[in-house]
Amino acid sequence: MDVTLREGIPSTIDFETEETDVDDLEALATVQADTLDEVLARVRDDYMDGSIVDRFFKTRTACWRVLVSSVLSGRGLVVGTHDESVGILLSEVVEELYAVDTSVPRLRAQQAVANATGTTVNPVHSDLEELSFPPKSFDVIVVQCRANQIDEYLEQLEPILAEDGSLLVLTDGWTREIGLTERLGLGDSSSGVRERFESSLRGHSFGITRAVRRAGLSVVGEHALLSTSRHENQRAFDVRSQEAHDWLLHGSNKTASTTPFVIARQISRLAQRAGILRQCYPRYLFVCRRQNAAGELSSPNGIVLAGKNRSTVLELEDNEIQRIRKVPNSSWQATVNENAQAALNTVPDSLADTVPTGESQETTFGPERIEQPVSGTPLDQTLEATPESVDRHLEAVFDWLIEFQRATCDRWVTKTPAEIERELTVEQVGLSNPPSVDRELEVPQVVTHGDLSGSNIYLRNQEVSYVIDWEFSKISANPIIDVGYLILQLIDAFGTNFNSSFKNYFINNMPIGKLLCSHLQNYSDQIGIDPHCIAVYLPLGYIHQTKTDLRYNRKSDVDWPTRVHSIWNFQEEVANRIV
């Protein structure tokens, strides 16, 4: 078979897949580490546009790496309908990674982005029939395809799998192919009526296992992947784990934290009672080996919950969480665990029992946080939109926050109007020209949490029992990052639209608004910070979230900048309410 070079990429075919976004891909193909942000800004329509960016930087969809980490080594091959991120993320943990595609622009863009993020992907322009690798070339092969294509893929890939290698198959189940999950908000269906019908006939555990055996391979691991219409592969677990099933179907609401997952839980209970649950998952991940190398895969006995920057592994035993692993989704997101560890090291002894107990350890995926489960109830599960509830909850949180900030304050700094303007400006998302400040402000520097919202604050007996998820923390920063974010996220929880909620609860003279201002005034007195400083920096937590999103995900899922502009529009009123 002849191998030629096509735009510098080894090629075994004489055709290319046409791309509708070829200009964006060609722009990405020129990217280098120091131009990455600039080029991504050009290919995005705006800071929330993920049409191209997510294909390379949405890392949460590959959280399943954690379940199969024991086979991710040596020489790897990625083939099929994966996003470009899969090859990039796998290249971080195997010794050498090859990616096959029929699109040269895709391959060139993937190669350049991989290089810019510090790893290497070897592109190959080919299709399944024209692969030119020698026999037994790869220690791990990862393929994503429809269930009716598995036979074809395995026929071509089995010869190039190493004697003791592993072949991973990701494929949609029949419940997704027929459109059931799409109607329930649990993942969109693929296109093609005929293909969907044919795949639905084979898209179940029994049918996939038969296809694997026909190829002379054995199934050594079988996992279920649960998605939503917003995020793919949000939950992942070993289908052999009784603990995982029990926890998903009957355990904590943390595994069914959104309406789609609540629906999935109810349907799964029915399927379990009928004895067909294993045949009904919307997506499967099979781990296959040659029959002479077979032996069940060892994987975590628990559930993987995909997050934006790191994935949480709940390790279960006797229907209880024994420990929690927080695994970075990529090498560039590994710093979030370093941030968390650094912040937790500063917690004063008086508050040490209100943060997770744990440690960091270096793993295949970078530094992991190993933590013990926490007790209490998340604030957002008990907070109600009544003055009494708001007052009670904020009193508990501010008691904790004031003590924490007093204990971690290392100095006060003087901020000039020009410095304040720079802190509030993020040009690339249109945050510029904040309301002018006509004098210097004295600001304490404290350890900040960075994401102090109701889901991260646990309460017990009307006190803060734990504050979790410190990955966005800073060691010496403006305390209003946390104060403002706490108040603004509370307001957001009370309505369907932030702008109207902010105006109703904070600007208008409503009872809850009065309480919010009262707590901010008390905070100002207790910390000794000028109330005008709080008004100026109130949206700083949203600005911090914007910068964090752009750094780790190259786009925002939430329109933080529009919220900031809404707050700026009322800054004078805010100042009048709390000064």
Q: Is the pTM of this model over 0.85?
A: yes
Mean pLDDT of 115-139: 97
Burial 277-290 (b: 16+ CB within 10 A, else e): bbbbbbbbbbbbbb
pLDDT of residue 195: 82
561 pLDDT tier (thresholds 50, 70, 90): very high
Tokens read off for 69: 């980490």
pLDDT of residue 297: 78
Please list the alpha-helical segments (H only) found in 324-386.
335-344, 379-382
90 pLDDT tier (thresholds 50, 70, 90): very high
pLDDT of residue 242: 84
CA triplet 91, 368, 400: central angle to 5 degrees? Answer: 140
268 pLDDT tier (thresholds 50, 70, 90): confident
Rg of the Cα trace of the chain? 26
**Half-sphere exposure of residue 389: CA atoms within 13 angstroms, side-chain side:** 10
For residue 212, which of 175, 168, 174 has the smallest C-alpha distance? 168
**Pairing label, strands 320-328, 310-317:** antiparallel
Q: What torsion do the CA atoms of 121, 124, 127, 130 make, to the nearest 10 degrees?
A: -130
What gap in Å lies between CA 385 and CA 561, rounded to an integer? 25
Q: Are 545 and 448 in contact (CB under 8 A)?
A: no
pLDDT, tens only, 146-187: 999 999 999 999 999 999 999 999 999 999 999 888 887 878
pLDDT of residue 290: 94
For residue 259, which of 230, 237, 224 has the smallest C-alpha distance? 230
255 pLDDT tier (thresholds 50, 70, 90): low
What gap in Å lies between CA 546 and CA 431, rounded to an integer? 10
What gap in Å lies between CA 286 and CA 290, rounded to an integer? 13
Q: What torsion do the CA atoms of 487, 490, 495, 499 make, to the nearest 10 degrees?
A: 20
DSSP-derived 3-state class of residue 46: coil
DSSP assigned state of 2: -
For residue 535, which of 491, 573, 479 has the smallest C-alpha distance? 573
HEC assignment per residue over 441-484: EEEEEEEECCCCCHHHEEEECCEEEEECCCCCCEEEECCHHHHH
| 250 has pLDDT over 80 | no
Q: Are 541 and 485 in contact (CB under 8 A)?
A: yes
The order of strands in the sheet holding 441-448 is 411-415, 441-448, 474-477
pLDDT of residue 151: 97
Other Cβ atoms within 10 Å of 270 Cβ, number:
11
Where do the domains of the chain lie, and which CATH numbers do they carry?
4-300 (3.40.50.150), 317-371 (no CATH), 377-578 (3.90.1200)
pLDDT of residue 496: 86
Mean pLDDT of 437-466: 97
| 358 has pLDDT over 60 | yes
HEC assignment per residue over 274-318: CCCHHHCCCEEEEEEEEHHHCCCCCCCCEEEECCCCEEEEEEEEC
pLDDT of residue 275: 76
Identity of the amino acid at 155: E
For residue 138, which of 168, 101, 170 has the smallest C-alpha distance? 168
Backbone angles phi, psi at 81, to 5 degrees: -95, 30
| 461 has pLDDT over 80 | yes
What gap in Å lies between CA 154 and CA 212, rounded to an integer? 7
Give the residue carrying structure tokens 């109130």: 538
Give the residue carrying structure tokens 């592994």: 313
DSSP assigned state of 431: B
